[in-house]
Amino acid sequence: MIGFINNNMIVETISNEAQTKEVKTVLNQDSAHTSRSERYSLVKTSDLISMFEAEGFRWKLVAEERSRKASYKGYGSHMVRLEAPELLSGDTLIDNELKPVLYLRNSYHGRTRLRLDLGFFRFACMNGLFVGQSLRSFNKKHIGISQAQIQSVFSEMKDAFKQAVPVLKALMEKEISREQQLDMAKAILAERMRLSDNYVEGQHEKLLTVQREEDVGNTVWKVMNRIQENLGLNFNSRPVEMSYTVEVTDKDGVVQQKERTLRRISGISEIAHLNKALFDLAVSTSNS
């Protein structure tokens, strides 16, 4: 992935050599933030990486929170992408386009609990996809995790990916109307703006813009990938230029509508949430 920095997040390609640096980073941090109590049981990302490496996984740090507090540096929320070269879905169509991966989220300041999410890495656009709630995710509290548990997660991953094959094939084969595509775009934009109480509507049709030849078509899969790209749901992308409308009450109590420009999404958890919401929306559309 191509690195970028904004006010909330740093996203970069970092090799395993980063663990050897003397400076404390989320990759070699060995203690919890001072704000945590003695009862806080830490799971080190470096230990988890070593456990997954023992099972044949490769890894890459793809996102790290950039806190305004200097004291949080090396302790913030972060995400690591894990992939096992031999882990395939077993379907030629799927395996030629996607690579199954695990997304590991963790932190040392207590704001993000350890989480493992299933996903895919798409070769055509070098983007990551998170599967939705209809498929398996693994949540863990900050307690000790053994190698046996990592092996169990790997086994569950294999089963989950096999279950995902018919779902993914349905997305790749089911064609939908323009109206259905617009409904998908409108729904996910509303979800993107769910925390804005005064949101009215936006230029959701722009989310269907084709950015690359591989995304031309009317299947749910093509539409989902266009929306993901245009909404900026990858850690290295900006949303397509578009505006939305909000209602604003002036000092005299008069409600007026104002236009705003859609901004880049900040925050690892929000990007993950919207990816999952989009996947579940795509599955629902495919089944309708």
pLDDT for position 115: 80
pLDDT of 48 strictly over 70: yes
More confident residue, 102 or 135: 102
Same domain? For 273 and 160 the reply is no
Sheet holding 255-261, edge to edge: 199-202, 243-249, 255-261
Give helix 147-173 / helix 45-54 axis angle, nearest 10°. Answer: 80
Question: What is the C-alpha separation between 181 and 191, in angstroms, rounded?
Answer: 16
Same domain? For 34 and 164 the reply is yes
**What band does 15 get if pLDDT is binned at 50, 70 and 90?**
very low
Question: What is the C-alpha separation between 183 and 279, in angstroms, rounded?
Answer: 14
Same domain? For 158 and 256 the reply is no
**What band does 68 get if pLDDT is binned at 50, 70 and 90?**
low
Which of 131, 158, 173 is the last residue before a domain boundary?
173
Same domain? For 117 and 235 the reply is no
Same domain? For 160 and 192 the reply is no
Cα 95 from chain centroid (whole Å): 20
Same domain? For 117 and 203 the reply is no
Region of poorest pLDDT, from 139-148, 184-193, 194-203, 209-218: 139-148
Same domain? For 33 and 133 the reply is yes
pLDDT for position 217: 96
Query: Best-predicted range by mean pLDDT among 1-15, 19-33, 134-148, 256-270?
Result: 256-270
**What band does 19 get if pLDDT is binned at 50, 70 and 90?**
very low
pLDDT of 214 strictly over 80: yes
Same domain? For 111 and 252 the reply is no
- The domain total for the chain is 2
Question: What is the C-alpha separation between 41 and 56, in angstroms, rounded?
Answer: 27
pLDDT for position 99: 82
Over its C-alpha atoms, the chain yields an Rg (Å, rounded) of 20
pLDDT for position 2: 25
- Whether the Cβ atoms of residue 239 and residue 270 lie closer than 8 Å to each other: no
The two tokens of residue 267 are 């925050």
- Whether the Cβ atoms of residue 82 and residue 52 lie closer than 8 Å to each other: yes
Query: Best-predicted range by mean pLDDT among 101-115, 206-220, 232-246?
Result: 206-220
pLDDT of 286 strictly over 90: yes
Same domain? For 140 and 36 the reply is yes
Which of 123, 141, 173 is the last residue before a domain boundary?
173
Question: What is the C-alpha separation between 248 and 171, in angstroms, rounded?
Answer: 39
In sequence order, which residues have a C-beta less than 8 Å from that of residue 256 and are 6 or more positions away? 247, 248, 249, 250
In sequence order, which residues have a C-beta less than 8 Å from that of residue 215 and are 6 or more positions away? 125, 222, 225, 226, 229
pLDDT for position 135: 54
Question: What is the C-alpha separation between 164 and 90, in angstroms, rounded?
Answer: 11
**What band does 160 get if pLDDT is binned at 50, 70 and 90?**
confident
pLDDT of 159 strictly over 60: yes
Same domain? For 10 and 90 the reply is yes
- Whether the Cβ atoms of residue 103 and residue 119 lie closer than 8 Å to each other: yes
Q: pTM, whole model, 2 decimals?
A: 0.78
pLDDT of 218 strictly over 90: yes
Same domain? For 192 and 211 the reply is yes
Which of 173, 200, 219 is the last residue before a domain boundary?
173
Same domain? For 30 and 164 the reply is yes
DSSP code at position 263? P
Per DSSP, helices labelled H in the chain are 45-54, 92-97, 147-173, 178-192, 220-231, 268-287
Range of the domain at 80: 4-173
